[in-house]
Structure 1
């Protein structure tokens, strides 16, 4: 299988750097092809702007979505964006690895999403009618591929528990797993999270590697998070609200997951 690892941490000698090296070795030793987009090392430009559309007329008012659609359709995207899109199309699985900073991904990784997820590539595809509302949330150009998050955080696991002060980890990661990964079609497997990073000694790191290795070995067999597909009958269209016979009595993020 082919795996794209998009990695976002500024220090290669960090815990994240050691985890990245382990992931690459484990997958490669198992016979998989691995490509790494190390965003800090690449000097990745995080901000989406008119320079991303090489054919954009400077006299026009910049409209990000329209510019993105036109650049993607006409081959006018900047070279770095096109290269990352090619990697996504090449890969059978995507792994996003990052430290949890202020309840989300680092800005450089968010910028990777903003720029690479072009209109016509990751969104704005498919029929929009009273029967379907585009190819998204379970469909899309990246359907048939798998995705997983590897996340580190300084907080305790209890801080991210069902009644923890930070909110459940599945809720914290919902915008990424559901909105960034499931939206364009990925099957999203449960995340691998390392808590209390400042307390990782050699023994904990060895245990972390063992647990992560097992997750990587079973990446293609692990059941994905059972998000409800948009066009499968669970949602009224075009309102895109859950029908009464789905997730009855449930609200919030958990209502969009089966069971």
Structure 2
């Protein structure tokens, strides 16, 4: 198995750094190949601008170029091999990988800006999304440029675990991260795995850190066979022409919960 590990934490000598070290040791012991993109160490540029597509940067003379339409510029630069070298290098890693691990501290209920910038710049139109099949149907939500890969979030939060429980003030982690799990991973075709979350990170003792690292190692040992979260495929028949769930699908459920295929539906699908 080939694993790309995207690490987005500003301090390598941290709890997250120790988790990364343990994760890579575990992958080595299991015989899996891995590559690491340490975004802060790389000095990753987080903002999209014309320089990504062969144009002038914000400080250069770009008066001669036409208005920047980001999606169209992404697709044209991708197809013509004109994306900046750092973007092309990350896309090559994605093409290589079977599983992508995204590790970050959860700040303001999401990833740090540097990782958001990685998504903005690397998952370009024409590569990760905006693709169509032979009939002209747009491929997304279960299909797309990254279909066949799986994605795992490894994240840390300062809050206690109970506050992220079913009735906790913050909400369940997989719902808090729904925009990432569903709107980024699933949209581009990557099957999201349940997030691995370390709670109480800012009060973590040395013993607690060792326990967290051991739990991550256990999780990685089962990674090859782990089932992803079951979100609904756009082309699976559950949605109408307006991309709204049909009345008979997930009755009584709304929002995030309605986008998940629950156990009863899975049983019906198997026995039908």
**Do both share a fold (TM > 0.5)?**
yes
Distance 2:150 2:19 in 1: 20
Q: Look up the SS of the partner of 1:232 in the other structure.
A: coil
Deviation at 1:127? 4.3
Deviation at 1:128? 9.7
Deviates more, 1:179-188 or 1:109-118: 179-188
* Distance change (3 Å), C-alpha of 1:78 and 1:157: same
Matched, 1:63 2:63: no
Per-residue CA shift, 1:223-244, capped at 9, x if unaligned? 110101110101112x111111
Provide runs of 4+ in structure 1 moved above 6 Å: none
Deviates more, 1:159-168 or 1:112-121: 159-168
Please list every run of 5 or more consecutive structure 1 residues that lacks an aligned counterpart in the other structure: none
Q: Do the aligned partners of 1:146 and 1:220 also contact (CA within 8 Å) in 2?
A: no
Distance 2:209 2:171 in 1: 25
Corresponding residue to 1:142 among 146, 153, 176: 146
Q: Look up the SS of the partner of 1:224 in the other structure.
A: coil
Q: Do the aligned partners of 2:87 and 2:121 also contact (CA within 8 Å) in 1?
A: yes
Matched, 1:251 2:257: no
Matched, 1:95 2:101: yes
- 2:35 counterpart residue number: 35
- 1:24 counterpart residue number: 24
Per-residue CA shift, 1:33-59, capped at 9, x if unaligned? 110000000000000111100158742
Size of the aligned set, in residue pairs, is 256
RMSD of aligned alpha carbons: 1.5
Normalized against structure 1, the TM-score is what? 0.95
Corresponding residue to 2:130 among 111, 120, 124: 124
Corresponding residue to 1:152 among 127, 144, 156: 156
Q: Do the aligned partners of 1:55 and 1:71 also contact (CA within 8 Å) in 2?
A: no
Greater gyration radius: 2
- 2:239 counterpart residue number: 235
Per-residue CA shift, 1:75-109, capped at 9, x if unaligned? 11000001000000000100000000011100000
Deviation at 1:206? 2.0
Deviation at 1:112? 0.1
Distance 2:23 2:261 in 1: 30
Q: Do the aligned partners of 1:3 and 1:91 also contact (CA within 8 Å) in 2?
A: yes
Normalized against structure 2, the TM-score is what? 0.90
Q: Look up the SS of the partner of 1:149 in the other structure.
A: strand
Q: Do the aligned partners of 1:128 and 1:134 also contact (CA within 8 Å) in 2?
A: no
Q: Do the aligned partners of 2:173 and 2:195 also contact (CA within 8 Å) in 1?
A: no
Deviation at 1:199? 2.3
- 1:47 counterpart residue number: 47
